[in-house]
């Protein structure tokens, strides 16, 4: 992977009429990297991809590729190729004709088209399928053809617009690793749009989380998962259990208390580099990071909240338990079956608590 950015976005804005969708995006993408644009529907991730490709005009800012401003360049002159969510294959053409179509438009000699297409058919596990109609292929095979068509023109940058969303779960898991492997093999820079956090974490070197047209956080999969910087990122990355709490200084420590459960209190980490917020806070934690019942190590630092089990669902390998407490309703993953209606205690280790200042304007409310 190169160290110099191949793509630099500065203050990029896109508006549809009076509706501004992208609100000043600053982003650098390293050559040879795999970047995932992640976020909820309407956050601007697909608009960002289309602005990069030239299919959607920007209303402000700049797009530089290899130091060259491509803002006014048409899509075919940007050194990029797109793999669409719908595959966008031509049903009247064979597999080989679909894959070689972009080369034909570029007036590449027939022998060279055949060589490139044959190489891609082999790489994509489609040897012997060249003369078949795309209508005879499975969803996974069609996705490979769409990927091959994009790679045939040897782009510097590969754009992937939710390419796996139409596949069944088993094929989707397989294609994640295949696309990642091909990207590494060819050294092409790849940018993936997805709303699936697991897909982003499996495939990408860098995850860019968008929220309402702005970048909420950029980092490696480990960074955005383990150290979310906002309540939105925490919730989107799976820390969907929320508690309203209060924090106060206690000598050298910061004490966190649950507003509706006075006996539930614990000291939380606070350092000069990462100080804990003081006052009214919102705490997020993941279902799989908490446990039920008496803590295995009662002396360990953990937030303990009494509650009642209201529902139990089997997930395969474990159980998802719905717990009603005085401070809200939580979902906790538990390895053993428990009985609905039983009293229990939710134990949340301190390192699993993500603590944020409470922002009334953007507050994510815990379920009541």
Helix, strand and coil content of the chain, in percent to the nearest 5, comes to 25, 35, 35
The answer to whether residue 299 scores a pLDDT higher than 60 is: no
pLDDT in tens, 187-220: 999 999 999 999 999 999 999 999 999 999 999 9
Q: How confident is the model at residue 120 (pLDDT cuts 50, 70, 90)?
A: very high
Judged on CB neighbours under 10 Å (0-12, 13-18, 19+), 66 is middle
Q: How confident is the model at residue 306 (pLDDT cuts 50, 70, 90)?
A: very high
Domains of the chain: 5-231 (3.40.50.300), 239-357 (2.40.50.140)
Residue 87: the pLDDT is: 81
Cβ-proximal residues to 161 (8 Å cutoff; 6+ apart), any chain: 46, 49, 82, 83, 84, 85, 193
- Does residue 356 contact residue 231 with C-beta atoms inside 8 Å? yes
257-273 exposure pattern, b = at least 16 Cβ within 10 A, e = fewer: bbeebeebbbebebeee
pLDDT at 118: 94
Q: What is the pLDDT of residue 335?
A: 93
In the DSSP assignment, the letter for residue 91 is: T
CB contact at 8 A, 321 and 331 = yes
pLDDT in tens, 141-168: 998 999 999 999 999 999 999 988 888 8
Task: Please give the pLDDT value at position 364.
Answer: 53
Whether 272 has a pLDDT exceeding 90, the answer reads no
Q: What is the share, in percent, of the chain residues with pLDDT greater than 90?
A: 76
| Lookup: tokens for 290 | 């908490």
φ and ψ at residue 258, rounded to 5 degrees = -85, 125
- Mean per-residue pLDDT, 273-279: 84
Q: 256 or 367: whose pLDDT is higher?
A: 256
Predicted local confidence at residue 3, as pLDDT: 64
């Amino acid at each position: 992977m190169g160290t110099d950015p191949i793509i630099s976005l500065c203050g990029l804005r896109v508006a549809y009429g009076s509706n501004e969708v992208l609100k000043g995006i600053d982003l650098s993408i390293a050559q040879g990297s795999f970047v995932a644009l992640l976020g909820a529907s309407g956050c601007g991730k697909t608009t960002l991809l289309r602005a990069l490709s030239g299919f959607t005009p920007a209303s402000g800012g700049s797009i530089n590729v290899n130091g060259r401003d491509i803002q006014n360049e048409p899509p075919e002159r940007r050194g990029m190729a797109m793999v669409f969510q719908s595959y966008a294959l031509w049903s009247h053409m064979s597999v080989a004709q679909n894959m070689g179509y972009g080369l034909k438009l570029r007036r590449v000699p027939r022998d060279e088209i055949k060589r490139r297409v044959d190489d891609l058919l082999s790489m994509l596990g489609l040897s012997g399928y060249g003369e078949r109609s795309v209508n005879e292929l499975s969803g996974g095979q069609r996705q490979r053809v769409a990927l091959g068509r994009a790679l045939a023109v040897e782009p510097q940058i590969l754009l992937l617009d939710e390419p796996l969303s139409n596949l069944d779960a088993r094929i989707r898991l397989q294609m994640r690793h295949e696309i990642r492997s091909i990207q590494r093999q060819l050294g092409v820079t790849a940018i993936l749009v997805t709303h699936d956090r697991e897909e982003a974490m499996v495939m990408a070197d860098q995850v860019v989380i968008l929220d309402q047209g702005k970048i909420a956080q950029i980092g490696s999969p480990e960074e955005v998962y383990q150290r979310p910087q906002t309540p939105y990122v925490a919730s989107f990355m799976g820390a969907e259990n929320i508690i309203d709490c209060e924090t106060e200084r206690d000598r050298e420590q910061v004490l966190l208390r649950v507003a509706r459960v006075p006996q539930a209190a614990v000291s939380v980490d606070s350092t000069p580099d990462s100080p804990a917020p003081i006052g009214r806070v919102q705490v997020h934690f993941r279902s799989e990071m908490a446990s039920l019942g008496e803590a295995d190590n009662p002396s360990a630092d953990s937030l303990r909240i009494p509650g009642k089990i209201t529902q139990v669902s089997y997930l395969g390998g474990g159980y998802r338990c719905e717990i009603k407490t005085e401070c809200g309703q939580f979902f906790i993953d538990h390895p053993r079956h428990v009985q609905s209606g039983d009293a229990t205690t939710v134990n949340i280790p301190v390192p699993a608590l993500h603590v944020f200042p409470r922002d009334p304007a953007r507050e994510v409310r815990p379920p009541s």
